[in-house]
């Protein structure tokens, strides 16, 4: 398995798919993605709880670990605000390293987390305090290749382009390997301005959930190096299950949904059943 840092260096631009378990990770890999995003929103939803720091760090680490064992492409783990203070951040980095994860992303949000897609006012950490978290993360890593992305919620909190850029520069100087400029409508023009002004001094990721009319190539042309489709897989699965479950509940006939669902053979393929049978038989690869 190649690590996240080397994958970014190889492709220059990456589009990541959001996942929450081994099955979704394998499906995303089969679709052709070169790297994945272990989404805190998706993992939280898979447990039936809000994306509001309800789950503990170990639950997120385990979800990322299970996904990573199923694929040969790297995972960037969404670590919210780092699960505590700078000491907790150091422990978080060691925990993800031990789980085989080669990249993490943490944000300058306060605890408990407020999901950025909610229409709710929020304040964020001061730049100096978040800088210390970045320093702790980089100090804690044992592998030189380990990758730390610093996400700023500056625009979500109502700050200006200049304020975001000041944070970005401070986070770069603290040792972050990449940045994530988070935004939602109506701040997309501010995002474009920030990307232009930043000038690729350090790789920048964006998450276009709230501005879907901008494609990955469009955003990369505007200055983004990494585009993250953070939760579309889970949302697609929810819609599909809602439709199938409703049909079965109403009509009670499997014939009504056969055309909407995957054949069992697809599930066997996702389980890598052929390979496990080969290993059991002792057949050479």
Calculate the alpha carbon distances from 125 to 85, 110, 246 in Å.
11, 6, 44
Both 176 and 268 in one domain: the answer is: no
**Those residues with Cβ within 8 angstroms of residue 43's Cβ, 6 or more apart along the chain or in another chain:** 20, 55, 59, 60, 63
pLDDT of 188 reads: 87
Q: How many CB atoms lie within 10 A of CB 77?
A: 29
Both 160 and 223 in one domain: the answer is: yes
The closest alpha carbon to 71, from 7, 11, 9, belongs to 7
Read off the pLDDT of residues 224-268 as tens digits, 9 standing for 90 and up.
999 999 999 999 999 999 999 999 999 999 999 999 999 999 999
Both 144 and 250 in one domain: the answer is: no
If one counts the domains in the chain, the total is 2
74/65 Cα distance (integer angstroms): 11
SS3 179: strand
Cβ pair 231, 207 in contact under 8 A: no
Both 136 and 27 in one domain: the answer is: yes
Of 201, 218, 233, the residue that ends a domain is 233
pLDDT of 74 reads: 99
Q: What is the chain's pLDDT, residue by residue, as a tens digit (285 residues)? A: 689 999 999 999 999 999 999 999 999 999 999 999 999 999 999 999 999 999 999 999 999 999 999 999 999 999 999 999 999 999 999 999 999 999 999 999 998 777 666 666 678 999 999 999 999 999 999 999 999 999 999 999 999 999 999 999 999 999 999 999 999 876 789 999 999 999 999 999 999 999 999 999 999 999 999 999 999 999 999 999 999 999 999 999 999 999 999 999 999 999 999 999 999 999 998
Q: Supply the residues annotated as catalytic.
A: 51
Domain CATH number, residue 156: 3.20.20.60
Q: How many CB atoms lie within 10 A of CB 283?
A: 8
Both 243 and 133 in one domain: the answer is: no
pLDDT of 185 reads: 75
Both 66 and 101 in one domain: the answer is: yes
Both 103 and 75 in one domain: the answer is: yes
Both 62 and 103 in one domain: the answer is: yes
223/230 Cα distance (integer angstroms): 19
Domain that holds residue 84: 4-233
Both 163 and 199 in one domain: the answer is: yes
Both 55 and 108 in one domain: the answer is: yes
Both 165 and 266 in one domain: the answer is: no
pLDDT of 120 reads: 65
Both 169 and 146 in one domain: the answer is: yes
67/45 Cα distance (integer angstroms): 16
The closest alpha carbon to 26, from 59, 73, 63, belongs to 73
């Amino acid at each position: 398995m190649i690590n996240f840092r080397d994958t970014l260096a190889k492709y220059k631009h990456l589009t990541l798919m959001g996942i929450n378990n081994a099955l979704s990770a394998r499906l995303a890999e089969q679709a052709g993605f070169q790297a994945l995003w272990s989404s805190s929103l998706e993992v939280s939803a898979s447990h039936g709880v809000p994306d509001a720091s309800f789950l503990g760090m170990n639950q997120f680490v385990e979800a990322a670990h299970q996904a990573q064992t199923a694929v040969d492409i790297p995972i960037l783990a969404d670590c919210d605000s780092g699960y505590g203070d700078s000491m907790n951040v150091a422990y978080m980095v060691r925990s993800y390293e031990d789980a085989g994860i080669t990249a993490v992303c943490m944000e300058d949000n306060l605890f408990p987390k407020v999901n950025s897609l909610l229409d709710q006012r929020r304040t964020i950490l001061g730049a100096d305090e978040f800088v210390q978290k970045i320093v702790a993360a980089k100090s804690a890593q044992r592998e030189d290749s380990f990758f730390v992305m610093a996400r700023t919620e500056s625009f979500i909190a109502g700050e200006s382009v200049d304020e975001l850029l000041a944070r970005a520069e401070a986070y770069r100087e603290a040792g972050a390997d990449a940045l994530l400029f988070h935004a939602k409508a109506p701040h997309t023009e501010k995002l474009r301005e920030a990307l232009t002004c930043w000038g690729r001094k350090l790789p920048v990721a964006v998450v276009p959930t709230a501005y879907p009319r901008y494609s990955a190539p469009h955003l990369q042309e505007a200055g983004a190096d990494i585009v993250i489709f953070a939760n579309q897989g889970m949302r697609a699965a929810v819609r599909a299950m809602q439709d199938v479950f409703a049909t079965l509940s109403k009509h009670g006939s499997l014939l009504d949904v056969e055309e909407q669902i995957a054949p069992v053979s697809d599930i066997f393929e996702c389980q890598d059943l052929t390979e496990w049978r080969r290993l059991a038989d002792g057949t050479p690869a």
